[in-house]
């Protein structure tokens, strides 16, 4: 039987960050992951899965020693965020207004994971175990035992960071509430004629918004939200046909583009009924999936990591039993309200801008017009989005 203090199931961005942050506290951590991320080279095309990394997430990755490696590879900082429905009600948020050098960075998910894995491999307190299929686990007052196809692992706590379809969440008997939205989202990597790397923007339509996330060089990740039927139609087009549709639908400020790659996925909202059940804790997508309108998915997952690490560090520093149920319960008590607030805000944004009412459209545009001219409101919104 392989023993450790904590078993982390899932070695993605959130799982790897949680393993590394807890190992830095002196705890022995075992990470179970099916596959190792593919190695990086500068010649590789951009991945489709990217994230808008907030200032708070950047600080966490910097503390974990992974940020410098990401910077050495590739990323794109942005200083401005543009939002509008009508051009007359354009609202722009700028890093200068909150005295920051940038609002965030667009980074490929795989590079974040890979940079964290590089740090893990140099840490004596973390072991990564690949390719083990989990069959069951049991827990009691002393600890947890997890069984795979060929090994048995024991620890004081299991962290489920194994995604929206978490097996650990299912085995623990933790239910979820949520729904599927009527829309899907298409991700499209493009080459752009115009350099516009310092801004990310989003324009709203009743059928769904379109967004541009800047990538290094004259490249961008476009996000196209629409009905599931429409997105399926777009996915079946060849690159030239899709390029024509982009030029017809996206705002003129995008300029000419060349499609490089594309993929699509349905939009879902899911929230675990509880984040803790005994010695099982849920983090990231295993606990919550959110409408990606504001790009906050992985950022709230990293907030989970930071809060759990802070709670356990405080308990260790005070000489308390860090894995006592009352200590572990503090994680859900602090994170659940904040996550629910962000999820509800995204649902409200989705509902507001997907309504085709003429009256509501006027109200929306007045709101954006006013927000652009209200420095205090803009500052508070920006700081919250940046995790500050």
Which two three-digit tokens encode residue 103?
A: 């609002």
Which of 54-68, 143-157, 350-364 shows the lowest mean pLDDT across its residues?
A: 350-364
What torsion, rounded to 10 degrees, do the Cα atoms 160, 315, 139, 151 define? 60
CA atoms within 13 A on the CB side of 135: 7
Say whether pLDDT at 155 is over 60: yes
Query: Cα separation of 323 and 336, whole Å?
Result: 19
Q: In this model, does residue 279 exceed pLDDT 90?
A: yes
Rg (CA), the chain: 22
Q: Which residues contact 29 (CB under 8 A, 6 or more apart)?
A: 4, 5, 6, 7, 8, 19, 22, 23, 125, 126, 127
Predicted TM-score (pTM) of this structure: 0.90
Higher pLDDT, 372 or 220: 220
Can you tell me the distance from the alpha carbon of 335 to that of 33, in angstroms, rounded to the nearest whole number? 25
Q: Do β-strands 126-130 and 29-33 pair in parallel, antiparallel, or remain unpaired?
A: parallel
pLDDT of residue 382: 56
Average pLDDT over residues 108-113: 97
Rounded Cα distance, 336 and 20, in Å: 23
SS (H, E, C) 18-36: HHHHHHCCCCCEEEEECCC
Cα–Cα distance for residue pair 267/234, rounded to 1 Å: 16
Name residues whose C-beta falls within 8 Å of residue 289's C-beta, 6 or more positions apart in sequence.
164, 178, 268, 269, 270, 271, 297
pLDDT digits (tens, 9 = 90+) for 117-150: 999 999 999 999 998 889 888 998 889 999 998 8
**Mean pLDDT value across residues 364-375:** 47
At 313-341, the pLDDT tens digits run: 999 999 999 999 999 999 999 999 988 88
Domains of the chain: 2-75+111-178+270-352 (3.50.50.60), 180-268 (3.30.9.10)
Tokens of 179: 């729904």
Average pLDDT, stretch 43-53?
A: 95
- The whole-angstrom separation of Cα 202 and Cα 209 is 7
Q: Tell me how far CA of residue 183 lies from CA of 229, 244, 247, 267, 350, in angstroms.
A: 9, 22, 21, 6, 10
Closest CA to 216 of 240, 236, 191: 191
């Amino acid at each position: 039987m392989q023993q450790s203090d904590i078993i982390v199931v899932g070695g993605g961005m959130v799982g790897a960050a949680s393993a590394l942050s807890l190992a830095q506290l002196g705890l022995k951590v075992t990470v179970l992951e099916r596959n190792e991320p593919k190695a990086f080279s500068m010649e590789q095309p951009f991945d489709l899965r990217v994230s808008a990394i907030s200032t708070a997430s950047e600080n966490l990755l910097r503390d974990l020693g992974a940020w410098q490696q990401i910077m050495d590879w590739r990323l794109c900082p942005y200083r401005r965020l543009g939002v509008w429905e009508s051009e007359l009600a354009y609202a722009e948020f700028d890093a200068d207004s909150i005295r920051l050098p940038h609002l965030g960075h667009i980074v490929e998910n795989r590079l974040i994971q890979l940079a964290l894995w590089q740090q893990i491999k140099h840490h004596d307190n973390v072991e990564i175990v690949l390719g083990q299929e989990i069959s069951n686990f049991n827990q009691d007052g002393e600890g947890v035992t997890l069984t795979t196809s060929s090994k048995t692992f024991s620890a004081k706590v299991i962290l489920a960071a194994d995604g929206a379809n978490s097996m650990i969440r299912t085995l623990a008997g933790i239910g979820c509430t949520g729904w599927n939205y009527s829309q899907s989202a298409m991700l499209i990597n493009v080459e752009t004629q115009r350099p516009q790397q310092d801004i990310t923007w989003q324009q709203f339509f009743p059928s769904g918004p379109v967004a541009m996330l800047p990538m290094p060089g004259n490249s961008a990740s476009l996000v196209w939200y629409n009905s599931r039927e429409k997105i399926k139609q777009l996915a079946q087009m060849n690159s030239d046909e899709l390029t024509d549709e982009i030029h017809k639908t996206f705002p003129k400020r995008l300029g000419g583009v060349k499609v490089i790659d594309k993929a699509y996925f349905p939009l879902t909202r899911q929230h675990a009924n509880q984040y803790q059940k005994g010695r099982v804790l849920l983090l990231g997508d295993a606990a919550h999936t959110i409408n990606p309108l504001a790009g906050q998915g992985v950022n709230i997952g990293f907030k989970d990591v930071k809060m759990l690490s802070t709670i356990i560090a405080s308990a260790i520093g005070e000489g308390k039993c860090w894995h006592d149920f009352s200590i572990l319960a503090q994680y859900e008590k602090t994170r659940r309200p904040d996550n629910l607030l962000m999820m509800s805000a995204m649902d409200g944004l989705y509902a507001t801008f997907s309504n085709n009412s003429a009256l509501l459209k006027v109200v929306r545009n007045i709101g954006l017009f006013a927000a652009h001219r209200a420095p205090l409101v803009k500052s508070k919104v920006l700081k919250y989005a940046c995790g500050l």
